[in-house]
């Protein structure tokens, strides 16, 4: 018998295609307020309580669960996805932190999160679990340098150490020498012979300003037999404008300073940062003026918020926030300027780079 079922018209087919398009559409970018909530509330919970057991960068992935990036909790571990965006009650992570199941408790060993932290997780999941950590972190050789979290050396108060005890007292000229000599003696080594004056002046010139001394400058030093002869050379170099140029460049390198975006075939916008030089000159001047380090940091994050309000000379420090191409790429087109992002988000990201810059300069020293 002939099948007389009517052939479906084009409308159902179009409907199926439309629905598949919707299902494959990329998720909307998280709002600025949502990312602020994650950075201020959620990331600290993960970093302080979860990474030690669920971060490949820290060497542990218990239960196959990674919580240091978005795809990690989306995939989940041995028990399945850890978080169901929009539905806290179906999220295994919430079940674990609430301690409702004696066989599933995170963090373990009775280190339960506070009620406020749990409520923050609930609120975050309800808003769809916005998470900017889209790249899987990798372990680095310096990951454990200086301590972790609040135990890092940069967060510790300053204290005056006790000068080291040494055997070769005759070699010591100051307390810094004691620490150097103590480490040498610990390894069965002895100091090199003192450099001659011609070698010494070349070393200090290259070290402080990156340029060689002139012949006249060498001869002046060689013929100066006074005890502070070397100190006079050092003071002269520290007061030279070349000092800021020599040492400011290291800060500019780790701040990712550039006069351009490195793409000269851009169609919609210029590849040049026309006023980038103002930030460069600010950094050089800060080094030459011996600006206090804490002020140097604060001005690069919030110069427009610091007193006195009528002092505009430090506003160039905010160029630090504009140098990062990662920040630039997150600004919506066609109006890519800093006001498109919440200040707290830009400055939170930038604060991490400032800490890295400080660490880098410490290594150079």
**Per-residue pLDDT tens digits for 175-218:** 999 999 999 999 999 999 999 999 999 999 999 999 999 999 99
In the prediction, which pLDDT does 146 show?
A: 62
Average pLDDT of the segment spanning 285-312: 88
Assess if residue 288 is contained within a domain. Answer: yes
Residue where one domain finishes, among candidates 77, 102, 134: 134
Tell me the two tokens of residue 158.
Answer: 């300053």
In angstroms, what is the C-alpha Rg of the chain? 29
Assess if residue 202 is contained within a domain. Answer: no
Q: Tell which wins on pLDDT, 226 or 101.
A: 226
Flag whether pLDDT at 263 surpasses 70: no
What is the domain range of residue 52?
32-134
Assess if residue 295 is contained within a domain. Answer: yes
| H-only helix segments in 127-240 | 175-186, 197-208, 215-222, 229-238
Average pLDDT of the segment spanning 272-288: 91
Helix axes 215-222, 229-238, angle to 10 degrees: 150
Assess if residue 290 is contained within a domain. Answer: yes
Among the ranges given (47-61, 175-189, 281-295), the one the predictor scored with the smallest mean pLDDT:
47-61
- State pLDDT tens for residues 313-331: 889 999 888 765 544 443 3
Report the residue count for the chain. Answer: 365
DSSP state of 113: P
Flag whether pLDDT at 86 surpasses 60: yes
Task: Determine the 3-state secondary structure of 54 from DSSP.
Answer: strand
Percentage above 70 pLDDT, the chain:
74
Flag whether pLDDT at 163 surpasses 70: yes
Residue where one domain finishes, among candidates 93, 111, 134: 134
Assess if residue 191 is contained within a domain. Answer: no
Assess if residue 213 is contained within a domain. Answer: no
Average pLDDT of the segment spanning 53-77: 84
Flag whether pLDDT at 333 surpasses 90: no
Assess if residue 173 is contained within a domain. Answer: no
Question: Which residues, including other chains, have CB under 8 Å from residue 202's CB and lie 6 or more apart?
Answer: 212, 213, 218
In the prediction, which pLDDT does 344 show?
A: 42
CA distances 117 to 6, 46, 53, 79, Å, are: 59, 11, 19, 23
**In this structure, how many other beta carbons lie within 10 angstroms of the beta carbon of residue 283?**
26
Flag whether pLDDT at 19 surpasses 50: no
Q: pLDDT class for 353, splitting at 50, 70, 90? A: low
Residue where one domain finishes, among candidates 134, 163, 191: 134
- C-beta of residue 247 within 8 angstroms of C-beta of residue 207: no
Q: Tell which wins on pLDDT, 49 or 286.
A: 286
Helix axes 241-254, 229-238, angle to 10 degrees: 60
Assess if residue 324 is contained within a domain. Answer: yes
Domain count, the chain: 2
Flag whether pLDDT at 124 surpasses 70: yes
Peptide bond into 356 cis (omega under 30): no
Tell me the two tokens of residue 95.
Answer: 């079940």
In the prediction, which pLDDT does 145 show?
A: 58
Q: Tell which wins on pLDDT, 170 or 105.
A: 170
In the prediction, which pLDDT does 9 show?
A: 55
């Amino acid at each position: 018998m002939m099948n007389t079922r009517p052939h479906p018209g084009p409308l159902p087919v179009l409907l199926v295609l439309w629905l598949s398009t919707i299902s494959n559409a990329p998720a909307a970018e998280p709002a600025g307020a949502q990312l602020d909530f994650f950075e201020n509330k959620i990331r600290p919970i993960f970093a302080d309580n979860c990474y030690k057991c669920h971060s490949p960068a820290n060497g542990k992935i218990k239960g196959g669960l990674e919580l240091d990036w978005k795809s990690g909790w989306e995939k989940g571990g041995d028990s399945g996805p850890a978080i169901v965006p929009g539905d806290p009650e179906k999220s295994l992570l919430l079940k674990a932190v609430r301690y409702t199941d004696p066989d599933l408790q995170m963090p373990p060993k009775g280190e339960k999160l506070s009620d406020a932290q749990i409520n923050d997780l609930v609120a975050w999941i309800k808003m769809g679990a916005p998470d900017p950590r889209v790249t899987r972190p990798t372990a680095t050789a310096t990951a454990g340098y200086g301590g972790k979290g609040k135990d890092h050396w940069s967060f510790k108060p300053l204290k005056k150490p006790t000068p080291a005890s040494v055997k070769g007292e005759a070699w010591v000229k100051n307390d810094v020498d004691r620490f150097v000599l103590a480490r040498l003696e610990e390894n069965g080594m002895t100091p090199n012979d003192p450099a001659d004056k011609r070698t010494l002046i070349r070393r200090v010139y290259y070290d402080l300003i990156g340029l060689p001394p002139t012949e006249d400058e060498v001869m002046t030093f060689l013929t100066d037999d006074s005890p502070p002869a070397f100190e006079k050379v050092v003071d002269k170099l520290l007061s030279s404008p070349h000092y800021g140029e020599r040492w400011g460049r290291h800060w500019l390198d780790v701040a990712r300073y550039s006069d351009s975006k490195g793409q000269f075939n851009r169609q919609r916008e210029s590849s040049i940062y026309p006023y980038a030089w103002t930030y460069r000159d600010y950094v050089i001047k800060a080094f030459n003026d011996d600006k206090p380090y804490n002020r140097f940091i604060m001005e690069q994050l919030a110069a427009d918020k610091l007193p006195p309000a009528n002092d505009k000379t430090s506003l160039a420090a905010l160029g630090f926030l504009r140098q990062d191409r990662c920040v630039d790429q997150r600004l919506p087109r066609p109006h890519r300027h800093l006001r498109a992002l919440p200040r707290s988000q830009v400055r939170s990201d930038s604060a991490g780079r400032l800490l890295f810059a400080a660490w880098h300069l410490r290594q150079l020293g």
